[in-house]
Amino acid sequence: MSESKGLVLVVEDEKPIADILRMYLSREGFGVQVESDGIAGLSAAKTLHPVAIILDVGLPGIDGVDVCKDLRNSGIWTPILFCTARDDEVDRILGLEMGGDDYITKPFSPREVVARVKSVLRRTNLVQTGAGPVVVGEVSLDSDTRRVLLAGEEISLTATEFDLMEYLMSQPGRVFSRDQLLSHVWGYSSIVGTRTVDVHIAQLRSKFGKHDPIRTVRGVGYSVEIA
């Protein structure tokens, strides 16, 4: 086998699901560490430096949402793919202050989970050309360093928030439809709902606060304003 694509941490208490994810991810060249409760998962996420985390929401110990919160509060922005058995948990998973990058509802196909992991890694590992930061209003976004400054202060965005903002800022003033944003940022518009876009936009707005450059165009989509 060629060199490892990195370690994926799977936090899942249902052993058959964990086993099949391990098999599929290993086959794709990832290293895989499985933890079956929230506390062990949190500890592994902090010590093993995985490239991505597949995080079940319903876990013994502490649930997946609290694991994610703890990681983000600790300044750890490893991409997280949530697994949930309940569609009504999606807002909570992707909601304000949470910082999940994507979610998949059970039952899922392991192939799809692997595709999602690859997608999130592709998005976080994009090779950029040295064009320097793009500035719109008080927001400065640098695709090379993947850093965002807000009124001169660095702020933390999840991989997905960054990609969404990067795409909006690629053409300031242009209105992007939710479908355009989905297909560019998530890359599989037929699977993820447009609500995902709205939730991530809301998170960005909350982070930008009074310097928020995002404009909602009712019935169409979103743009960023030219300063």
Binding site for Ca ion (CB under 5 A): 13, 56, 58
CB nearer to Ca ion: give 58 or 187: 58
CB nearer to Ca ion: give 37 or 91: 37
CB nearer to Ca ion: give 23 or 85: 85
CB nearer to Ca ion: give 14 or 28: 14
Q: How far is the CB of 105 from Ca ion (least distance, A)?
A: 13
Q: How far is the CB of 54 from Ca ion (least distance, A)?
A: 12
Which residue in the shown chain puts its C-beta closest to Ca ion? 58
Which is nearest to 159 in space by CA: 146, 170, 171, 149? 146
Token pair listed for 85: 């058995």
Q: How far is the CB of 85 from Ca ion (least distance, A)?
A: 7
Q: How far is the CB of 58 from Ca ion (least distance, A)?
A: 4
